[in-house]
Amino acid sequence: MASSALSGTCPPPQPLVVWLRMGHVVSLGPSMELDTHSSALACLGVGVQGPFTVRSDGHPDVTARSFLFRARKPHNIVRSAGRLLFCYFDPTSAAMTRSLGGMLRTVHGCAVDHHREAELIALCEHPHLGVENVLELASIPAAAPRDIRIAKAASVIRADPAAAHRAAKLAAEVGLSQSYFLRQFSEQTGTSFRRYIQWARILRAAQGHISGHDATRCAADAGFATPSHFTDTFHRMFGFTPTALVRAGAQIHVEPREVQQGIRACS
């Protein structure tokens, strides 16, 4: 009787839901108590039910309702209330030719208070989250035109992340010197050439997992030397392991148009 009464008054916990694309990742759900980590690309975090507190390397703790996590900047969420929305962006993807921005304040060197924070929160309260709307609200038009040569090189990496990509070779293919190519690649993608390849490989491995492939095949198809290499790289970028994501009961979705040929889409 007591159990029945409790189930009638307390809503079931909402699961962690992750939308994976080659260009960006969106997740919505409870905090996973992440370890200190740094991601390969910039990420916008939004507290759906209330503010959360971020401990960023070299800065005092910052509490905000929305926070811009900088690429390659170690950080950890030390307190949160309810669900959190995270949007990771690849600025050179065909589906998102915009750069993450629109933060209204800076606190201890950290960007907080996204200018469309309230609208993002309202979207997350809807029972059927519109991911396209989230991505549109979370980004603003780029301040300067993109160099299509960098976009082309990035698309080559995304098309075949398992290949042994070399900066010198890609730079020559798009008609740039290696030093200029590496500098512009970092500025336009928000991360280094090496970390960008890691990001693309992680997404490819995740797509393989969704398709039902075992860990060894997922790692090999994505260009990782071993399954443990994939796990270690994933942990460094996101602060938790793929196994932890599975244990959390995450619902993972892959957009069909973003899945490479030969890998079954999951919706």
* One domain for residues 135 and 169: no
> In this predicted model, what pLDDT tens digit does every residue of 213-224 receive, in sequence order?
888 999 999 999
CATH number at residue 170: 1.10.10.60
Structural domain including 210 reads 148-238
Q: Are 48 and 68 in contact (CB under 8 A)?
A: no
**Domain endpoint, select from 83, 109, 140:** 140
Task: Give whole-number Cα distances, 224 to 38, 52, 113, 197, in Å.
Answer: 19, 34, 37, 11
Pairing of strands 17-20, 251-254: parallel
153, burial (CB in 10 Å: exposed 0-12, middle 13-18, buried 19+): buried
Would you say residue 8 has pLDDT above 70?
no
Would you say residue 89 has pLDDT above 60?
yes
* One domain for residues 121 and 174: no
Q: Is the pTM of this model over 0.85?
A: no
* One domain for residues 158 and 187: yes
Residue 85: what pLDDT? 96
> Residue 12 contacts by C-beta under 8 Å, 6 or more apart in sequence?
none
- Is 4 inside a domain boundary? no
Q: What does the block give as tokens for 62?
A: 């910052």
Q: Number of structural domains, the chain?
A: 2
pLDDT band at 100 (very low <50, low <70, confident <90, very high): low
For residues 198 and 161, what is the distance between their CA atoms, to the nearest angstrom? 8
For residues 52 and 85, what is the distance between their CA atoms, to the nearest angstrom? 11
